[in-house]
Amino acid sequence: MEIGKPKPKKISKEAFPEILKERMSRREALSTGAKIGIAAAIAAIVAGVGGYFGGVSTAPTRVATQTITQPAQTITQEAQTITQTVIKTETLAAQTVTQTITQPAQTITVTQIITGTPAKVPVPSEPLRFGVMGFQTGSFAPASIAGMNAARIWADWVNQAGGILGRKVELIFEDETGPVDVRKERFTKLTVEKKVDAIIGTTATSTGLAFGPLAEQLQQIWISWDATTQQGLEETLPNPTYAFKSINNEAESVAGAVLTARFFPDIRTVAGINDDYSYGRNNLEAFMAILKRFNPKVELVKELWPKPEGTDYTSEIATLKATKADLIHSSFWSGHATIFIRQANAVGLFKDSKAALVTAGGVLPTLKKDFTPEGLLIGCNSWYFLEPRGWPLREAFVNEYVKRYNEFPVYECDHAFFSFQAYKAAVERAYEIKGSWPTKEEIAKQLTQVTVPSLSGYRSFREDHVMLTSFWQGLSKHSPDYDFIILDPVISVPPEKLQPPPGMKFHDWVKTWA
Amino acid sequence: MALLEPSTITILVLTGIFSSSIIFLISAGLQIVFGIQRILNLTVGSFYAIGAYVGITFINFFLKMGFSVVYGLLFLILAGLSLSFLGPTIERGVLNFVYKKEEAFQLLATFGLVLIFEDMIKLIWGSYPQISDFGILTYGEFRFLDTSFPVYYFLVIISAFLIAFLLEFFIKKTRQGKKMRSVADDIEMSEGLGVKVRNIYILSFTIGTVLGTLAGALIIPVTAAVLGMGIEAIVLAFAVVVIAGLGSMRGALLASLIVGLLQAFITFIFPELTTFVIYLIVIAVLLIKPTGLMGKEI
């Protein structure tokens, strides 16, 4: 169930910047090969051989790359109408040729980029500036700070490798803590005063709901690590231009419900303790909806909604203990997860109840063995740093992170790293097409067209600007090699099982589950 | 009745009293400083957080040195007491300059200290939650009515009541305590009678500091030290102080018990209303008896 394409090659962390270059050049090589292949395929279609690619393709190079891998299907086509449009834009160094093939049942669009020999305009010499925003204080800070640390490592590595198309990168950090209006002012300040090229980061849904429209208004690229633009389980910004959103809030509990059904099939009663805000409420609702598909008799017997950023759950745990539910569900994801598990274990809550702590892996290194029992279902979001696959980039990053910060990295590092990698690849791709430094809009368009290596494998954005990734969850286990828990067995739930397709409502999607 | 079985009541009462104990120590620190120095000391939340972080460092250090885990509680108390130097340092270094300023200025000064301490914590201990190696079950479990509780809970409850008794005794019966009461009543008269107000201020602020650091140190076997824990603590402490009446030590004990037990029971019965009920009581006290349940004492 893996989506990444790990390279078995072992490399040292010192060699990382070269790895990035190497990977990019491989992509370019692949892309060039693809272009030749596409040209051949188009020629065959025009000659009347016909083409049947089995789907609608609108993405330029990346999707076209897929079509050339299915040559056998092109022979079976009978009647078809072919129209051809050639787009020439003087401002673009490259020419784009679009062919639209209309068939009885479907329309296929294949776009070919003829690179030719465009005259490239030199890139600006000044550094690229990124606003980086996350919680710097409070119990939500650990995950955000891990993301910011990852941003620093990425920036150093990219600068060591010569920057993005030769431009060095600079990071300007801002705090996400405080009222939403203050956060919006910081966004505006970064855009208008600091003139940053993009704003990357943010964790809270309240931030996302504010920043999504603001990014569109200010025409500023905003790539969120964890903040969605969801109101409840509904998307509020379905067709953005500049806003790039986190994976849906409820994804953790979707994965958690699937694995709860697998690991704890006999549970009948559930008690939930989740933060009293959008993320917490979305998670419990999604968890129960999915779990009922597997086990219709399961019942929610208690809902607790402590205020976000809590640091004491003694009263709530007493209630959970008295409720005697078969399973405790929680989406606590930062320092409060550590506190909850420790306080719950102290009064023996996990002796009486199973637990699905679907995001507690956000602070995995703090879940020490002496207070975290074995057998709890723990979710690590997009990245479990001990995942069984080999992936040199992960190994290099973990080594660097531990060396710099004397602690193990968590999933927010993956979201941060991916966000920056995607931006870099989008700029490079847009420059390749245009021949001069692209505008923010041009970069934003390319962000959905790139697939980049991140810490968890290759990752990309969906066409509606939602991140794609698989999620790692598993049962807690004590290992002699670590003073905190590891996950064994650990399972990767693929992206298509985590959130509805673009445009589909969550509960309609749940009905499609067998 | 399933709602309130004896075992459920036991769980809720014990949990409520345990929470009350910690809340009392923090709010007592707030009370004593306001009662004597007339300053709303937001820094007490920071003392609570620093007590937790230093407590973890202390106990982990001693356990690594090979000391038996049985002395854990002693090490935590030592950690809390060792931070008493913060009292005179801040009183002389900061508060000394704001006594004659407006109340808003005093509040801003102590809030500034809260932010400084938060950044210091991040600098020294990092952003990850800190955990002590001292497990809460070190002293075993107590079983009652089909449920079990760590013995450590009872030790904390006993410690808090003992501290409340000693504070009462110190303030009411000792010479220094009487001087403190006289300063609280009338500074000029006290000075006229030879009481060195400066020393009394240092003493009361140091007691307030130690109450906060002790609470922080005692809580760490139960929880983790995290950024923001001080600010969270101060919010509840203020509710206690309003219900108790500013400056009242007995009121603080009573109000802590009310808040702790209400939290436990309301969370079980109407979890959505927990915060609402506590602040409803705060508003009711402010409207009906603005001086608090036992205001004007000390």
What residues pair up with A271 in beta bridges, in sequence order? A302, A328
Nearest residue on chain A to B139, judged by CA atoms?
A346
CB within 8 Å: A338 and B224: yes
pLDDT of residue A12: 43
Mean pLDDT of B214-237: 88
Nearest-Cα distance to chain B for A366, in Å, is 7
Domain edges within chain B: 6-229
A318 contacts in chain B (CB < 8 Å): 11-12, 15-16, 264, 267-268
Sequence-ordered list of residues with C-beta below 8 angstroms from that of B27, at least 6 positions apart, any chain: B237, B240, B241, B244, B252, B255, B256
Cβ of A315 within 8 Å of Cβ of B224? The answer is: no
- A94-103 pLDDT tens trace: 333 333 333 3
| Probe site for chain B from A300, A307, A312, A363 (most B CB atoms < 10 A) | A312
Residue A31 has pLDDT above 70, yes or no: no
Nearest to B135 among A140, A348, A371 (CB): A371
3-state secondary structure of B231: helix
Long-range CB contacts for residues A292-296, cutoff 8 Å, separation at least 24 = A293/A510, A293/A513, A294/A257, A294/A258, A294/A261, A294/A265, A295/A261, A295/A265, A295/A267
Q: How many angstroms away from the CA of B201 is the closest CA of chain A?
A: 31
Q: Please give, rounded to a whole number of angstroms, the shortest distance from the CA of A388 to a CA of chain B.
A: 25
CA distance A462 to chain B (A): 32
Query: What residue of A is the nearest CA neighbor of B272?
Result: A305
The pair of three-digit structure tokens given for residue B145, joined into one six-digit string? 């009515």
Say if residues A427 and A448 touch (Cβ distance below 8 Å).
no
Mean pLDDT over A214-227 rounds to 96
Contact criterion met (CB < 8 Å) for B127 and A338: no
Shortest Cα–Cα distance, B198 to chain A (Å): 35
What SS3 state is found at A374? coil
Q: Can you give the pTM of this predicted structure? A: 0.73
Residue A379 — φ and ψ, nearest 5°?
-105, 140
Do the beta carbons of residue A436 and residue A398 sit within 8 Å?
no
Is A138 close to B149, i.e. CB distance below 8 A? no
pLDDT in tens, A371-416: 999 999 999 999 998 888 888 999 999 999 999 998 899 999 999 9
Between chains, do A347 and B150 touch, taking CB under 8 Å as contact? yes
| Shortest distance, CA A411 to any CA of chain B (angstroms) | 14
Interchain contact, A368 vs B131, CB within 8 Å: yes
- The strand ranges marked E within A71-127 are 81-87, 95-102, 107-114
Given a contact cutoff of 8 angstroms between Cβ atoms, the answer to whether B276 and B263 are in contact is no
Report for A147-156, A487-496, A498-507, B228-237: range of highest mean pLDDT: A147-156
* Dist. CA A309–CA B264, nearest whole Å: 19
**A469 phi, psi to nearest 5 deg:** -170, 160
Cα separation of A360 and A292, whole Å? 23
Q: What is the mean pLDDT of chain A?
A: 80
Q: Is the pLDDT of residue A445 over 90?
A: yes
Nearest CA to A83 out of A97, A70, A72 is that of: A97
Inter-chain touch B271–A302, beta carbons under 8 Å: yes
Residues sharing a CB contact under 8 Å with residue B55, sequence separation 6 or more, in sequence order: B76, B79, B80, B132, B216, B217, B218, B220, B225
DSSP code string of B68-91: -GGGHHHHHHHHHHHGGGHHHHHH
Local confidence band at B3 (pLDDT 50, 70, 90 cut-offs): low
pLDDT recorded at residue A94: 36
The answer to whether residues A189 and A410 touch, using CB atoms and an 8 Å cutoff, is no
Residue A29 has pLDDT above 50, yes or no: no
Of the candidates A145, A302, A335, the beta carbon closest to that of B226 is on A335
- Whether the per-residue pLDDT at A36 is higher than 60: the answer is no
Six token digits for residue A26: 């491989």
CB contact A153 to B (< 8 Å): no
In this predicted structure, which of A80-94, A229-243, A259-273, A359-373 has the lowest mean pLDDT?
Answer: A80-94
Give how far A163 is from chain B: nearest CA, Å: 29
- The contacts of residue B211 (CB under 8 Å, 6+ apart) are B25, B26, B28, B29, B32, B44, B47, B163
Record: contact A137-B274, CB cut-off 8 A: no
Residue B163 confidence class, pLDDT cut points 50, 70, 90: very high
Please indicate whether, in this complex, the C-beta atoms of A335 and B227 are within 8 angstroms of each other: yes
Instruction: Tell if the CB–CB gap between A319 and B267 is shorter than 8 Å.
Output: yes
Contact assignment for B271 to A307 by CB distance below 8 Å:
no
C-alpha distance from residue A106 to each of A53, A86, A457 (Å): 10, 21, 33
A309–chain B Cβ distance below 8 A for any pair: yes
Q: Are B246 and B34 in contact (CB under 8 A)?
A: yes
Q: Is A488 helix (H, G, I), strand (E, B) or coil?
A: strand
Inter-chain residue contact B228 with A318, CB threshold 8 Å: no
Q: Where are the alpha helices (DSSP H) in A104-200?
A: 141-160, 180-188
Instruction: Please answer yes or no on whether B223 and A342 come within 8 Å at the CB atom.
Output: yes
Nearest to A252 by CA among A222, A224, A226: A226
Here the tokens at position A321 are 């203990």
pLDDT at A233: 86
Per-residue b/e over A251-283, b at no fewer than 16 CB within 10 Å? Answer: bbbbbbbbbbbebbeebebbbbbbbbbbbbbbb
| pLDDT reported for residue A118 | 56
Q: For residue range B86-99, list pLDDT tens digits in order.
A: 999 999 999 999 88
Taking contacts as CB-CB distances below 8 angstroms, the residues of chain A near B148 are: 347-348
Q: Does A509 touch chain B (CB under 8 A)?
A: no
Residue of higher predicted confidence among A82 and A317: A317
- CA-CA distances (angstroms) from residue A335 to A146, A215, B4, B269? 12, 30, 32, 27
Strand pairing report for A198-201 and A128-134:
parallel
**Full set of structural domains in chain A with CATH:** 14-114 (no CATH), 123-247+390-467 (3.40.50.2300), 251-388+470-511 (3.40.50.2300)
CB atoms within 10 A of CB A361: 29
Is residue A208 predicted with pLDDT exceeding 90?
yes
* Residue A469 · residue A444 · CB < 8 Å: no
**Residues of chain B found within 8 Å of residue A338, distances taken between Cβ atoms:** 129, 131, 224, 226
Read off the tokens for B111: 């809030």
What integer is the mean pLDDT of B113-128?
88
Q: How buried is residue B75: exposed, middle or buried, by Cβ count under 10 Å (0-12/13-18/19+)? A: buried
Residues 394-453 of A with CB under 8 A from B: 405-407
CA B42, B43, B46, B51 dihedral sign is: negative
CB contact under 8 A, B118 and A303: no
Confidence at residue B37, expressed as pLDDT on a 0 to 100 scale: 87
Provide the pLDDT confidence category of residue A85 given band limits of 50, 70 and 90: very low
pLDDT at residue number A142: 85
